Amino acid sequence: MSEKMWSGRFTLPTDKFVEEFNASVHFDNRFYKYDIKGSIAHAKMLAKQKIISDKDRDDIISGLEQVLTEIESGRFQWKTEDEDIHMAIEKRLTEIVGDAGKRLHTARSRNDQVAVDFRMYMKSEIIEIQALLAELLKAITEKADMDKETMMPGFTHLQTAQPILFAHWLMAYFQMLKRDFTRFEDCLHRMDYCPLGAGALAGTTFDIDRHFTAKELGFKAPTENSLDSVSDRDFAIEFLSAASICQMHMSRFSEELIIYSTSEFDFIELSDDFCTGSSIMPQKKNPDMPELIRGKTGRVYGSLISMLTTMKGLPLAYNKDMQEDKEPVFDALDTLKASLKIFAPMVGKMKLKPAKMEKSAGAGYSTATDLADYLVRKGLPFRQCHHIVGSAVAYAIEKGADLSELSLDEFSKFTDVITEDIYQFITVRASVNSRSAYGGTAKSSVVEQLNSAKKFLNEIY
């Protein structure tokens, strides 16, 4: 039985099951690169401050480089008895370089070590997520840019409301996902402070240079309070909140793709390579990808709630509960990245069915508001117009006709201000193109949105 690094005050070896229950090495080994990076920066700082010798520093660095190679080539032996990534690497380092390895942990604790590893890991993952989000934003913009004509019904309560451009619908998701992009950006900036050097909780008696390590590791500055540095995981919680919101946006987007590809709606067709068949019903083409993305949203929320719950009752500073902070984040990260990776090409490759979309766009009296607006322009108060159009719609429903099919004679039953020009206002195209106020669905407004989107993409690419 190998001796633990902390076994000095113990007389009994750890119970085998306790050892397993206690270990995090099988999941926190995702941090290996950052753990090694952090240790190299720490060793450089210790030597610069004359806390260890230059020879020890050089041995530590070459030893850690060897450990890195062993891990990346799959030769490294991950052992439960080493407990976590920090001790596994330090132990192997000491096997390779001897006493120098044992000096590395001077002026450091696993508490500030895990805090710095986790932040570095998150920073790099967030950058990857932003790159995937940028791909999706680009796919949406390109798709919308390719088709600025096709109309579809816009819904409220999933009841036909007013006609809109398909590109307008798509660009609504652009806005949501763009905010997600900036939310990740904000969260990245807030976590950009280096906790290394906070020690176990109270700082250290050695004359360390925390500004040096912060800079060496690519942080904006060191954290200001040692107790806070090792205690909070708000950076991970903030990431999980942003991830939950982003996944929720993709889930709604998925839901619309699912319903719009049913034979009842028949507005779009997802590409074959994003669908699956049924083992019994030969005609089926199921939208499994958007369904899974919608389904996986629950686990991302679950990670957020799990983490908030883990943290809510903890006294300062570190508590072992906090070892439970990693797996939910890893799971959320994997889920979000996979969903984003699938979404961009799925949007890019989906096919529209313009004839069906436009037929639906005109159904359900979708231009009734345009008739009311017409009456307002003729001088009637809006409330009164609303009532008049309501009666005209009821009449048309009874007759089984569309509003544009009513004759002037029939319109005159409800008001005497309607003249021949009405028919040019209540077509679907006229309805869409008249909504040209800033942010509306008119083609002119959608073009403005696209220009601003392209500008944003230029800035982030």
The pattern of x and - marking residues 44 through 83 that bind ligand ARG according to CB under 6 A reads ----------------------------------------
Catalytic site includes residue 278: yes
Residue 84 makes contact with ligand ARG by CB under 6 A: yes
Stretch that binds ligand ARG, among 207-215, 304-312, 315-323, 388-396 (CB under 6 A): 315-323
| Closest alpha carbon to 404 in 417, 415, 393, 388 | 393
Half-sphere exposure of 242 (CA within 13 A, CB side): 24
Rounded CA separation 207/196 (Å): 14
CB of 95 to ligand ARG, least distance (A): 20
Alpha-helical regions (H) of 264-312: 288-311
Beta bridge partners of residue 286, listed in sequence order: 276
Residue 238 makes contact with ligand ARG by CB under 6 A: no
CB of 85 to ligand ARG, least distance (A): 7
Provide the pairing of β-strand 221-222 with 193-194: parallel
Alpha-helical regions (H) of 324-381: 326-349, 354-362, 368-377
Task: Report how many residues bind ligand ARG under the rule CB under 6 A.
Answer: 10
Rounded CA separation 72/68 (Å): 6
CB of 24 to ligand ARG, least distance (A): 4
Nearer to ligand ARG, 110 or 435 (CB): 110
Instruction: From the candidates 278, 391, 412, 444, give the one annotated as an active-site residue.
Output: 278
Stretch that binds ligand ARG, among 236-244, 282-290, 320-328, 380-388 (CB under 6 A): 320-328
Residue 324 has what DSSP assignment?
G
The pattern of x and - marking residues 93 through 112 that bind ligand ARG according to CB under 6 A reads -----------------xx-
Residue 114 makes contact with ligand ARG by CB under 6 A: yes
- Please count the residues of the chain: 461
Nearer to ligand ARG, 269 or 331 (CB): 331
Residue 28 makes contact with ligand ARG by CB under 6 A: yes
CB of 120 to ligand ARG, least distance (A): 15
Nearer to ligand ARG, 267 or 318 (CB): 318
Stretch that binds ligand ARG, among 253-261, 301-309, 317-325, 430-438 (CB under 6 A): 317-325
- Could you say which residues in the range 323-362 bind ligand ARG, by CB under 6 A? 323
Four-residue CA torsion sign, 155, 158, 160, 165: positive
Residue 24 makes contact with ligand ARG by CB under 6 A: yes
Rounded CA separation 59/220 (Å): 28
Question: One-letter amino acid identity for 204?
Answer: T
Catalytic site includes residue 42: no
Q: What is the DSSP string of 409-440?
A: HHHTTT-S---GGGGGTSSHHHHHHH--STTS
Give the burial class of 85: count Cβ atoms within 10 A of its Cβ; 0-12 exposed, 13-18 middle, 19 or more buried: buried
Rounded CA separation 175/173 (Å): 5
| CB 444 within 8 Å of CB 436 | yes
Nearer to ligand ARG, 319 or 415 (CB): 319
Under the rule (CB under 6 A), what is the footprint of ligand ARG?
24, 28, 84, 110-111, 114, 318, 320, 322-323
Catalytic center residues: 157, 278
